[in-house]
Structure 1
Amino acid sequence: MKSGLKIVTIGGGSSYTPELIEGFIKYFHELPVKEIWLVDIEEGKRKLEIVGNLAKRMVEKAGLPIQVHLTFDRKEALKSADFVTTQFRVGLLEARRKDESIPLKYGVLGQETNGPGGLFKALRTIPVIIDICREMEELCPNAWLINFTNPAGMVTEAVLRYSNIERVVGLCNVPIGMEMGIAKLFDIDHKRVRINFAGLNHMVYGLDVFIDGVSVKKEVISLITNPNNNISMKNIHAMGWEPEFLKALDVFPCPYHNYYYKAGDMLEEELNNFKRGGTRAEVVKKLEEELFDLYQDPKLAIKPPQLEKRGGAYYSDAAVRLIHSMYTDKCDIQAVNTRNNGAITSLPIDSAVEVSSIISKNGPKPLVMGELPIQVRGMVQQLKSFERVAIEAAISGDYGTALLAMTINPFVPSDRIAKMILDEMLEAHQKYLPQFFKKGGA
């Protein structure tokens, strides 16, 4: 490889970017980053400049020879890149607000990456990621695409199915957050913890949990039946689990399983929040305003701890750890979104899955997990069928396919309600869904 790496971050004006910069600074002695290009759109100019200037101050404080570039020219940035990371939100936080609020009007859970909201985030995002892939094929064909943009599993599978980019890895902070949670429960170093992950993005299970190579799954399940030991995220309210249910489930659920196993409770909470005028998007918008006020301080040259109030704790740990392992051919085990290739026999061989994988210079090699346990298999398979149909709808812009995806999603109770939600959300997001409004379309 080259002596100095060129990293391109699309969505560089994100509030998460300081996490990423912190990670590259931390690993610089083994990951010689020479250039970081932060790319955004014109509407994100203010945020890009604020975050970019903070990034430059962080690098300067660390005394490292890393050049930070800010640009709206994606093609210029992509030339000869080694790694391209994506963390963008099509339609910005206003689109998220609509994704969360419109389904609630119909008594359906509104959530950013699950249910109708997740479907529409995919419909807006997938065409953009495919455009980025076409530019990468031309400008940096040997680069790795590290996708953190949600819904990460669907975006990864869309790249694998509808582009010529094979060097793609989808990444989420949920698995590393679960590992960190276990480490805190046992008061040990995170490096001693390993979880056998298998499933889909935001529907991944810990099939087994190890400390120093010894299984502690029974102890973990027993511990997390105590509400005080619940392992969750800033953006998901942990309600605790019924102990008998969790012991019978016999696998370690991720925080997003609250939306499936506690659907009624989560919907009631979301509706109450909605009535009080607050979706998660509004909370995040306020948090971001506070963060960007902090970021503007010319004396600030570190990632502020307030960033962890966002849902993306451990982002830099996950993203930079992955790039570091690929660059150094470390062959350690990390959970990523990658092509199944038979690792999970309950799911199609060519689908993207979230699974523990050996990470080397050749990318991820998923560990063979075999059949998913019968008690979780059907739910995962239902969600994969939704994902596949949703991806097809995003590419084709076909109304019927989008309606099918909406109806088979486990959050949506009927085709009639699915159609009402679909029609209102198509109208609300028309600006970002040209594939549905071309001649002869919706």
Structure 2
Amino acid sequence: MRLTVVGGGSTYTPELVDGFARLRETLPVTELVLVDPSLERLELVGGLARRILARQGHPGRVVTTTDLDAGVEGADAVLLQLRVGGQAARQQDETWPLECGCVGQETTGAGGLAKALRTVPVVLDIAERVRRANPDAWIIDFTNPVGIVTRALLQAGHKAVGLCNVAIGFQRKFAALLGTTSERVHLDHVGLNHLSWELGVRLGGPDGEDVLPRLLAEHGRAIADDVRLPHALLAGLGAVPSYYLRYFYAHDEVVAELAGKPSRAAEVAAMEEHLLEMYGDPALDEKPELLAKRGGAYYSEAAVDLAAALLGSSPGVQVVNTANRGTLPFLPDDAVVEVQARVDGDGAVPLPVRPLDPLYAGLVAQVTAYEDLALDAALRGGRDRVAKALLAHPLVGQYRLADELTDRLVAHNREHLAWA
């Protein structure tokens, strides 16, 4: 089995490799290809990847290359984890929206739109080259904003599924609180990427007992602290929002908080520099503890499970980003939702979900409308399309603000926008 990681020079990659090594029975990778434009990063990350596999007795071969076409040739699955513009672009995404009094974040609000505009054309070019190399290859997208990027891929006819680690993170935390194994915990996870709620926590499978009321009664304050929202809010909802809902439920509070401290991008850039230094140590043959602070917890387990299901060796149920196809009846069929789905060699089929309360459905519908406009702007370009997408976003929604944000977005991203 040949698996290619585009963006293989990312500091995330050792997390992936550790998962491939530990879970070799689930996903028997024989060749792992790391593709990245940075030869320096490839040498550091690739060297550590080989040492991790060797330490754990994994027989797989690690190949590094800056040649995308060579890297995807013959791949059974291609995992995308790229960042167009690097941490410097992320730093901008988290900075200039704050100058307008809006949240500065890399996947939400105006910063998220900027990332989508930079990313979608690049991902679609990669996907076309994957299709030419092997039309049967699956594309697993971990590149943010996952919902918009996955919709672009599906709309262009690619075999693609989007992946996020939010759901598996909740699954593991809830399992620990319940004193059970994560395999027994099934989430009623509903929404969009980075706009989702846990409406139920079931033991044993989709039809198991819902223990979410017990979790909230016994551990509500700890869960609320984890998602950084008030305990009273979670108790009133009877649900657990993703921590990304904080940008919506406490927008002004978050803006004030972000304006007074260094950006997350700056923290991550410093962390990455340290990690890359560590990766260069020939004595290091396991993922360092510092990597856990980089983000992406349980990313490797989720990626292994998804790749194994898509490649036919281990079909199962997993939270993924895939086409709605009537799952949420108030959304278009081609919208991309983040829900539990049955995944096998034919792709992902969403499981039925309970009707959404208007409190959730209204926000999901509005953000989906924004994503429609964001994807149109990413595909066709133009200042007017960018401004319309921002006007539709619930965190913007005012024409003067949308105009000001549009000007700043274009000014900061001109080198990445062919039409600007």
TM-score interval, smaller chain: over 0.9
> Match of 2:139, SS?
strand
Matched residue type, 1:291: L
Give the C-alpha shift of residue 158 in structure 1: 0.8
Task: Please list the CA deviations of residues 155-187 of structure 1 after superposition, one character each: whole Å capped at 9, or x if unmatched.
Answer: 0001111x221x200000001011112112223
Return the offset for 1:217.
1.8
CA contact (8 A) 1:55 1:68 kept: yes
What do the CA deviations read for 1:277-336 (whole angstroms, capped 9, x no partner)? Answer: x11100101111121121111001111121110121111011112112333453321100
Q: Which amino acid aligns with 2:175?
A: A
Q: Which residue of 1 aligns with 2:13?
A: 17
Find the counterpart in structure 2 of residue 217 from structure 1. 212
| Structure 2 residue 291 is the aligned partner of structure 1 residue 307 | yes
Aligned-partner Cα distance in 2 for 1:329–1:61: 25
The reply on whether 1:354 has 2:338 as its aligned counterpart is yes
Residues 118-159 of structure 1 show CA distances to partners (whole Å, capped at 9, x for unaligned) of 000000000011101111221110000000000001100011
User: Partners in 1 of 2:382 and 2:21 — Cα distance?
Assistant: 45
The one-letter code sitting in structure 2 at the alignment partner of 1:164 is: G
Write the distance in 2 (CA, Å) between the matches of 1:106 and 1:203: 23
Could you tell which deviates more after superposition, 332-341 or 85-94?
332-341
TM-score by length of 1: 0.91
- What are the residue-to-residue correspondences of 1:43-62 with 2, within 5 Å? 44-62=38-56
Which amino acid in the other structure matches residue 241 of structure 1?
A: P
- In structure 1, the partner of 2:253 is 265
Equivalent in 134, 149, 153 of residue 155 of structure 1? 149
Distance in 1 of aligned mates of 2:341 and 2:329: 15
- For residue 196 of structure 1, what is the aligned residue in structure 2? 188
Distance 1:125 1:286, change over 3 A: same
Amino acid at match of 1:125: T
Cα deviation, 1:194-221, whole Å, max 9, x if unaligned, reads 1011110001111211123211121223
The alignment partner of 2:240 has SS state of coil
Tell me by how many angstroms 1:249 deviates.
1.9
SS in 2 for 1:178: helix
Q: Does 1:240 align with 2:232?
A: no
Task: Provide structure 2 residue ranges, at least 5 long, that are not aligned to the other structure.
Answer: none
Q: Is the 8 A contact 1:137 1:164 kept in 2?
A: no
CA distance in 2, matches of 1:164, 1:324: 22
Is the 8 Å Cα contact of residues 44 and 276 (structure 2) preserved in structure 1? Answer: yes
Q: Return 61-70 or 12-21, whichever deviates more.
A: 61-70
Instruction: Give the one of 302, 308, 331 matched to 2:315.
Output: 331
* SS of the residue 2:30 aligns to: strand
> What residue number does 1:253 align with?
241
**Partner Cα distance (2:215, 2:148) in 1:** 30
SS of 2:329's equivalent in the other structure is coil
- Residue 279 of structure 1, aligned match among 260, 263, 266: 263
Residues 196 and 241, structure 2, Cα contact 8 Å, conserved in 1: yes
Q: Is the 8 A contact 1:231 1:255 kept in 2?
A: no
Which residue is 2:394 aligned to? Answer: 410
Matching residue's letter, 2:310: M
Q: Paired residues, what number? A: 417
Where structure 1 has 5 or more consecutive residues not aligned to the other structure, the ranges are 233-237, 438-442
Q: Deviations over 1:409-440 (max 9, x none)?
A: 12215211221121122111111111x22xxx
CA distance in 2, matches of 1:411, 1:335: 26
Distance 1:369 1:170, change over 3 A: same
> d(CA) in 2 for partners of 1:281 and 1:224?
31
What amino acid sits opposite 2:290 in the alignment? Q
Asked if the contact 2:13–2:45 (Cα under 8 Å) also holds between the matched residues in 1, the reply is yes
3-state SS of 1:22 partner:
helix
Structure 2: distance between partners of 1:291 and 1:150: 22
Describe the SS at the equivalent of 1:33: coil
Give the 3 Å change call, closer, same or farther, for CA 185–148 of structure 1 in structure 2.
same
**Number of the residue aligned with 1:96:** 90
- My pick for the range that moved more, 246-255 or 354-363, is 246-255
TM-score, length-normalised on structure 2?
0.96
The answer to whether the Cα contact below 8 Å between 1:223 and 1:229 also exists between their aligned partners in 2 is no
2:162 is matched with 170
Which of 208, 233, 237 aligns to 2:200? It is: 208
Contact 2:76 2:311 in 1 (8 A): no
For 1:182 and 1:257, the matched residues in 2 are separated by 19
**Paired amino acid for 1:220:** L
Residues 61-100 of structure 1: pairs in structure 2 closer than 5 A: 61-100=55-94
